[in-house]
């Protein structure tokens, strides 16, 4: 291998950023060229738009991430204004539905909320930053526990994970304590209610600077570093094709979306980290088609509700002064009102679910002023149970050579169905959500199952496996079976049925792939 390898990375989300960072740190002569189809939204590449203080500026950044639905693209694509592009349970701010209702939209009737972000930093510029680690059967069996622990520790370092964010919040402690009472005797030691780990840097005023791909890039975007001198990021540049010859990948062909010009960029290694739908689509469009490509799609089915916190129970645990302090701190950053975030993690056999509990002063929808819980001074919690999907080859995305999407790629159709086993776990999770609500207060919104795709955590479509037996796309080091010099990254690699938020796991998997390929490129 050449002593000064050029590495092309497709996609600038947290996973592309992980590859760029680890490879440049490990290979002192390597260069990384990163291509991102969307625009750069913030001065610092890949920063979280949640950190933008000005609400209008934040909204504008989100709109620019929304690909074909964004204002400036709508007219050109012939999409009428009446097509719903964004809504609370359709596409979240900063994302766009794959089926946006216009010409060239994907077909997602069975998975209607499928969405993506198209911007520097990917979904990582919009994410909630929840970073719990996988446990029990959520871990991948062929990676041993010691290595998992090491990979997770490195992923936490790269993402700036905090285990005790908002730990001083009296409201958070009270919610945790009420949940512990409600679930007493049900959960194994160490897997009871706790603070949700999140990625970000606490600020002196008590607020949080949320992490995006920028923190993962780290020295690559700091002026004057050796890594920055060897890193180039091209935004608004769409990778159209992965070039290969006789099974060896040789580079990528890209389109500059500002000028429409195409060029082929030779590379010693190509890393595709362009999300769980568009990565397989790019591979497929390039003629790279392992049997499992796009199949085994999983996500977390989500059952949500909103509960008004019970005043009497809260007052026993939180003083008036503590409540006032909490509200004052939250008022400092009204545009990003995340304060106390609690959870009950996945554990087996009794609780194979994840519960996420977010405290908020107001419900996320207008509450009738006549409702008995309207204006509840103790606030509310928005709770969601994540329920796992068991991988099946029947669930996945198909590509159609005969029909092009709005970008000119083979169009996508998502096939997906819940099995009786999953329906049963959804019913169980709904009962547990009622139990959690009973511990905390009264429903202002009854539990309901969100449409398929709502989790935004799409997994399995490029799953890794221990053997090239047709049920996986990549080997245990993320190398695509049957091809050399080609790695894939992202949630699509996760082969297990799980409920844990996937980004930390995917960064850990990327660290593993990057370390191995760096050693190979270095000739070790
Ligand atoms: P992405 O971040 O999706 O980045 C992929 C990038 O590739 C995109 O920018 C895309 O434009 C680009 N791309 C696609 N095709 C091409 C091409 N052909 N050429 C060039 N570029 C291309 N996860 C958690 O773990 N915890 C959470 O709390 C959480 N909350 C979330 C909340 C929201 C609102 C959203 C939107 C997501 C959330 N997620 C969360 C999911 C998390 O953001 C993703 O897991 C993570 O961003 C995946 O990283 P990635 O780099 O694989 O892909």
Helix count and strand count (H, E) for the chain? 12, 21
Cα separation, 89 vs 165, whole angstroms: 27
Residue whose CA is at the smallest distance from ligand 1 atom 52: 490
Q: Say whether pLDDT at 70 is over 60.
A: yes
Any idea what the Cα angle at residue 479 is, between residues 475 and 484, rounded to 5°?
125
What pLDDT does residue 339 have? Answer: 66
The per-residue pLDDT for range 261-298, each reduced to its tens digit, is 999 999 999 999 999 999 999 999 999 999 999 999 99
Q: Tell me, in angstroms, the distance from the centre of ligand 1 to residue 254's CA.
A: 20
Cα separation, 100 vs 82, whole angstroms: 11
Residue % of the chain over a pLDDT of 70: 94
Active site residues: 457
Residue carrying the six token digits 């693209």: 73
Ligand 1 pocket test, candidate residues 20, 118, 122, most atoms within 8 A of CB: 122
**What value of ipTM does the predicted structure carry?**
1.00
Ligand 1 binding pocket includes 12 (Cβ within 6 Å): yes
**Token pair of 341, please?**
């975030």
Q: Say whether pLDDT at 79 is over 80.
A: no
Ligand 1 binding pocket includes 454 (Cβ within 6 Å): no
Ligand 1 pocket test, candidate residues 10, 11, 96, 98, most atoms within 8 A of CB: 11
What pLDDT does residue 75 have? Answer: 55
What pLDDT does residue 164 have? Answer: 82
Q: Say whether pLDDT at 91 is over 60.
A: no
Cα separation, 389 vs 154, whole angstroms: 27
The per-residue pLDDT for range 360-370, each reduced to its tens digit, is 888 888 899 99
Mean pLDDT of all residues in 408-435: 97
- Evaluate the CA torsion angle 392, 397, 399, 400 in order and state its sign: positive
CB 21 within 8 A of CB 217: yes
Q: Tell me, in angstroms, the distance from the centre of ligand 1 to residue 122's CA.
A: 4
**Token pair of 41, please?**
């939204």
What pLDDT does residue 121 have? Answer: 98
What pLDDT does residue 67 have? Answer: 74
CB 66 within 8 A of CB 60: no
What pLDDT does residue 87 have? Answer: 37
Ligand 1 binding pocket includes 158 (Cβ within 6 Å): no
Angle between helices 503-521 and 145-159 (to 10 degrees): 100
Cα separation, 335 vs 301, whole angstroms: 28
The per-residue pLDDT for range 178-208, each reduced to its tens digit, is 999 999 999 999 999 999 899 999 888 777 8
Ligand 1 binding pocket includes 498 (Cβ within 6 Å): no
What pLDDT does residue 85 have? Answer: 41
88 pLDDT band, cuts 50/70/90, is: very low
What pLDDT does residue 101 have? Answer: 79
The per-residue pLDDT for range 489-518, each reduced to its tens digit, is 999 999 999 999 999 999 999 999 999 999
Cα separation, 12 vs 367, whole angstroms: 39
The per-residue pLDDT for range 7-55, each reduced to its tens digit, is 999 999 999 999 999 999 999 999 999 999 999 999 999 999 999 988 8
Mean pLDDT of all residues in 423-435: 97
Residue whose CA is at the smallest distance from ligand 1 atom 33: 127
179 CB-near residues (< 8 Å, 6+ apart): 192, 193, 342, 344, 357, 436, 439, 440
Q: Tell me, in angstroms, the distance from the centre of ligand 1 to residue 438's CA.
A: 35
Q: Say whether pLDDT at 74 is over 80.
A: no
CB 169 within 8 A of CB 177: no
Q: Which domains are seen in the chain, by residue range? A: 1-84+120-160+212-291+459-524 (3.50.50.60)
Ligand 1 binding pocket includes 36 (Cβ within 6 Å): yes
Ligand 1 pocket test, candidate residues 9, 10, 13, 132, most atoms within 8 A of CB: 13
What is the rounded average pLDDT for all residues in the chain? 92
Ligand 1 binding pocket includes 280 (Cβ within 6 Å): no
Ligand 1 binding pocket includes 127 (Cβ within 6 Å): yes
Q: What is the DSSP string of 270-303?
A: EEE-S-TTHHHHHHHHTT---TTTTBS-B-EEEE
What is the chain's Cα-based Rg? 23
Mean pLDDT of all residues in 233-240: 97
Residue 475 half-sphere exposure, CB side, CA atoms within 13 Å? 14
What pLDDT does residue 396 have? Answer: 98
**Token pair of 249, please?**
């990948």
Cα separation, 367 vs 341, whole angstroms: 22
Q: Tell me, in angstroms, the distance from the centre of ligand 1 to residue 350's CA.
A: 31
């Amino acid at each position: 291998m050449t002593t000064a390898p050029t590495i092309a990375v497709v996609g600038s989300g947290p996973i592309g950023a992980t590859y760029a960072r680890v490879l440049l740190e490990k290979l002192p002569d390597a260069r990384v060229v990163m291509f991102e189809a969307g625009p750069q939204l913030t001065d610092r590449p890949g920063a979280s738009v949640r950190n933008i203080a000005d609400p209008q500026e934040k909204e504008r950044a989100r709109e620019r991430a929304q690909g074909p639905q964004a204002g400036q693209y709508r007219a050109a694509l012939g999409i009428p204004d009446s097509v719903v592009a964004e809504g609370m349970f359709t596409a979240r701010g900063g994302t766009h539905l794959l089926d946006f209702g216009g010409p060239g939209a994907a077909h997602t009737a069975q998975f209607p909320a499928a969405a993506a972000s198209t911007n520097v930093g990917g979904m990582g510029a919009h994410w909630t930053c929840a970073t719990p680690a996988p446990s029990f059967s959520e871990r991948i069996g062929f990676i041993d526990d010691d290595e998992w622990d090491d990979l997770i520790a490195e992923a936490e370092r790269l993402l700036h994970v905090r285990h005790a964010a908002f730990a001083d919040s009296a409201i958070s402690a009270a919610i945790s304590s009420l949940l512990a009472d409600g679930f007493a005797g049900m959960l194994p030691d160490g897997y009871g209610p706790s603070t949700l780990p999140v990625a970000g840097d606490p600020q002196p005023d008590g607020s949080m600077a949320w992490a995006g791909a920028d923190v993962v890039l780290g020295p690559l975007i700091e002026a004057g570093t050796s890594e920055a001198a060897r890193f180039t990021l091209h935004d608004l540049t769409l990778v159209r094709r992965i070039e290969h010859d006789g099974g060896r990948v040789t580079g990528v062909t890209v389109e500059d979306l500002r000028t429409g010009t195409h060029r082929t960029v030779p590379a010693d290694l190509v890393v595709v980290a362009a999300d769980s739908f568009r990565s397989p689509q790019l591979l497929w469009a390039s003629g790279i088609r392992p049997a499992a490509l796009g199949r085994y799609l999983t996500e977390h089915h989500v059952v949500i509700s909103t509960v008004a916190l019970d005043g009497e129970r809260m007052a026993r645990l939180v003083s008036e002064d503590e409540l006032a302090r909490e509200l004052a701190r939250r008022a400092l950053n009204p545009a990003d009102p995340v304060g106390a975030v609690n959870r009950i993690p996945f554990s087996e056999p009794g609780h194979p679910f994840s519960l996420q509990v977010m405290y908020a002063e107001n419900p996320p929808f207008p509450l009738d002023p006549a409702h008995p819980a309207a204006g509840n001074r103790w606030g509310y919690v928005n709770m969601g149970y994540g329920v796992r999907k068991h991988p099946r080859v029947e669930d996945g995305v198909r590509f159609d050579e005969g029909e092009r999407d709005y970008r000119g790629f083979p169009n996508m159709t998502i096939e997906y169905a819940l099995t009786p086993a999953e329906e049963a776990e959804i019913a169980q999770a709904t009962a547990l959500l009622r139990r959690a609500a009973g511990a905390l207060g009264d429903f202002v919104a009854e539990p309901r199952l969100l449409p398929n795709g709502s989790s935004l955590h799409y997994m399995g479509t490029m799953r890794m496996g221990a053997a090239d037996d047709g049920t996986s796309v990549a080997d245990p080091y993320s190398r695509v079976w049957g091809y050399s010099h080609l790695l894939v990254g992202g949630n699509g690699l996760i082969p297990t049925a799980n409920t844990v938020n996937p980004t930390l796991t995917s960064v850990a998997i990327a660290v593993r792939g990057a370390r191995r390929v760096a050693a190979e490129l270095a000739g070790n």
